[in-house]
Amino acid sequence: MALTDPIADFLTRLRNANSTGKKSVDAPASRAKLAIAEILKREGYIGEVKKVEGPRGGLLRVNLRYGRKGEKVLTHIVRVSKPGCRVYRGVETLGKVLDGLGVAIVSTPKGLLTDRECRKLQVGGEVICKVW
């Protein structure tokens, strides 16, 4: 069975591993998934991200983060734009996620950026997902 939405599969793997309390999760590697993982790492939602060599392009190994008492750092991750229904937003209509507590990941002509970076650079694009 071929995946029709590999990014949704990656986000679901993160969500499922996080909800069961796993320390890390593996997913098939791609540049888009690596860019999403790097943004999540930079924003503090996940730990280290490594590309592990393997068959068919390798794997992405993502270490998840939890609080001191085991509370989840990554509480919600929602896919917004889907292959059947793309969601594009200009910089002026790109709202804040949870009044700035969360982050939206946006695919722009300048690469994958957070909603804050989009407002700073005055660029819009396709809203990939929202995280909080």
> Domain 77-131 adopts which CATH fold?
Dna Ligase; domain 1 (3.30.1490)
77-131: same fold as 6-64?
no
- Enter the pTM of the model: 0.94
Question: What is the fold, at CATH topology level, of the domain defined by 6-64?
Answer: Ribosomal Protein S8; Chain: A, domain 1 (3.30.1370)
Measured CA to CA, the distance from residue 111 to residue 59 in angstroms comes to 22
pLDDT score of 80 more than 70: yes
Element (H, E) at 77: strand 77-79
Percent helix, strand and coil across the chain, each to the nearest 5: 35, 35, 35
Per domain, the residue ranges of the chain are: 6-64, 77-131
Q: How many helices (H) and strands (E) does the chain have?
A: 3, 8
Residue-level pLDDT at 2: 65
Distance of CA 90 to CAs 35, 78, 114, 117, 123, Å? 21, 20, 13, 13, 7
pLDDT at 50 over 60: yes
